[in-house]
Amino acid sequence: MLKVLGIDVTPDLLERWVDWLAPDEQPFFVTRKQASAWKLTTEDREPSREDRDTYRTYAVDPKAARTAWLRQEAYDALPKAARAALVRAQVGYDRGAVPTVRKWSRIVGAEVWQQADGYRFVWWKSLLREPARVLPDVVSQDLGPSRHAEVRSWPAALPRVRELAGTFPDGSGPNCFGTVMAGCGVDGAESVWMVREPFEEWLANHTDRGGKDDVPGTVFVWRDAARLVQHAALTIGDGWMIHKPSQSWMTPRKVRTVAEVKRATRTAGWRLERHKLVA
């Protein structure tokens, strides 16, 4: 069984990762002038949740207001100079999934040198002939492993925590709020994109302010300067916590130490609150 971040990854999940990293059509962000110069047809299409996270559509420079959805055949048919300029533009606009040739050419083949400008390229399924050599590194970038295998005592009062710990979601959407709520017994919360309002309602109805870091059932809540909740995690005892770093398909529900989660979540302007579960 393939392991990524200390978590078992089934062949079925690996196949879905290939689709999410390299869908048959992917978005390229351009200005009107660029679309005209490179003869690209653009359309206003809502990206899937997986597209949103793979390509970081939420972070793309607003001046690239048009989107060309290309299949590999259409991409390959562009003149090489246009492909090179298009890929460079994606880097400049902060689109995700535009890796460096230097890092990947030895793994996926020399063809990436010729795909665009020789410095950057985009993923297509044709480059993922050996997904087990590519996806683990893509998914684990900038993330520490889940340490669920090191936990010796799971909290009886939070029976679902052990089930959730060390699992990847079935796609983008499931997030930190749903992970905490599911760990505290809310059925199905781990499978949905839990937005702030229902999480705040649950927090108000099922917790009081306070709690200790070394006992199970303390909910950590990070708020920004506007008091909006930005992240949440749950203690499970003996200095361990469970959390999900983001709503992305790449981030698992993982166990880390309290100190590790606090360090990884430290963000300018955020403040940490503690809440304890009540019956």
Smallest CA-to-CA distance from 78 within 117, 130, 126 is with 117
| Residue keyed to tokens 């008091």 | 227
How confident is the model at residue 1, as a pLDDT?
A: 86
Looking at the chain, the whole-number percentage of residues with pLDDT higher than 70 is 100
| Residue keyed to tokens 């916590």 | 241
Residue 58 pLDDT > 80, yes or no? yes
- Spatial separation of the C-alpha atoms in residues 69 and 45, rounded to whole Å: 9
Q: Are residues 51 and 179 in the same domain?
A: no
Please give the backbone phi and psi of residue 33, each rounded to the nearest 5 degrees, phi first.
-60, -40
Q: Are residues 7 and 136 in the same domain?
A: yes
Q: Could you report the per-residue pLDDT of 187-223, keeping only the tens digit for each?
A: 999 999 999 999 999 999 999 999 999 999 999 999 9
Average pLDDT over residues 4-28: 98
DSSP string, 21-44: HS-SEEEEEE-HHHHHHTT-----
Q: Are residues 174 and 263 in the same domain?
A: yes
Q: Are residues 53 and 163 in the same domain?
A: no
Identify the domain boundary among 140, 169, 187.
Answer: 140
The CATH number of the domain where 188 resides is what? Answer: 3.90.1720
- pTM (two decimals): 0.94
Average pLDDT over residues 267-275: 98
How confident is the model at residue 279, as a pLDDT?
A: 75
The CA-atom distances, in angstroms, between 72 and each of 9, 26, 27, 122, 127 are 27, 9, 11, 10, 11
Give me the domain span that covers residue 188. 148-277
Work out the widest C-alpha separation in the chain, in whole angstroms.
Answer: 65
Identify the domain boundary among 78, 110, 140.
Answer: 140
- Spatial separation of the C-alpha atoms in residues 199 and 183, rounded to whole Å: 13
- Spatial separation of the C-alpha atoms in residues 49 and 249, rounded to whole Å: 9
| Count of structural domains within the chain | 2
Smallest CA-to-CA distance from 25 within 60, 50, 56, 58 is with 50
Q: Are residues 67 and 94 in the same domain?
A: yes
How confident is the model at residue 272, as a pLDDT?
A: 98
Q: Could you report the per-residue pLDDT of 145-185, keeping only the tens digit for each?
A: 999 999 999 999 999 999 999 999 999 999 999 999 999 99
DSSP string, 72-128: HHHHHHS-HHHHHHHHHHHHHTT-S---BHHHHHHHH-THHHHHSSSSB----GGG-
Average pLDDT over residues 105-118: 95
Looking at the chain, the whole-number percentage of residues with pLDDT higher than 90 is 99
| Mean pLDDT over each residue of the chain, to the nearest integer | 97
Identify the domain boundary among 140, 161, 187.
Answer: 140
- Read off the tokens for 29: 């962000």
- Read off the tokens for 92: 């400049």
How confident is the model at residue 237, as a pLDDT?
A: 97
- Spatial separation of the C-alpha atoms in residues 33 and 80, rounded to whole Å: 18
- Spatial separation of the C-alpha atoms in residues 154 and 151, rounded to whole Å: 7
Q: Are residues 129 and 6 in the same domain?
A: yes
How confident is the model at residue 162, as a pLDDT?
A: 97
- Read off the tokens for 100: 């460096």
Residue 105 pLDDT > 80, yes or no? yes
How confident is the model at residue 41, as a pLDDT?
A: 97
Structure confidence at residue 131 as a pLDDT band (50, 70, 90)? very high
